[in-house]
Amino acid sequence: MMVERIGPMDPIQPGKIPGKSEPLRGGEKDSINLSPEAKEKAELYQVIELIKSAPELSDAEIIALRDKINDPSYLNERTISATADRILDAFGL
């Protein structure tokens, strides 16, 4: 039995530029739809990357922060507002 080739072995057809798409016809537009699960995973990935890029804290810095938070005079409206602003800035909101 003899098997003959149907077409060229080269996947790139002559006259076509790789990576170049054909123009859309009749005003068609490309679109994609992401599932809620995909959106959730993307957000989770962004949070993980943000956590990975955060600087490491020493034990002394953690203790100092804990002491500040436990001090009733430290947690006031100005401190809470400034902290909320920094959190929103970190998320680009």
Tell me which residue of 86, 64, 87, 88 sits closest to 74, measured CA to CA. 64
Q: State the total domains in the chain.
A: 1
Q: How confident is the model at residue 28 (pLDDT cuts 50, 70, 90)?
A: confident
Q: To the nearest whole number, what is the mean pLDDT of the chain? A: 81
**Of residues 30 and 82, more confidently modeled:** 82
Range of the domain at 70: 57-93
Residues with Cβ < 8 Å from 68, sequence gap 6 or more? 74
* 1: in domain: no
The answer to whether the beta carbons of residues 78 and 72 sit under 8 Å apart is no
* 86: in domain: yes
Whether the predicted model's global pTM rises above the 0.75 cut: no
* 42: in domain: no
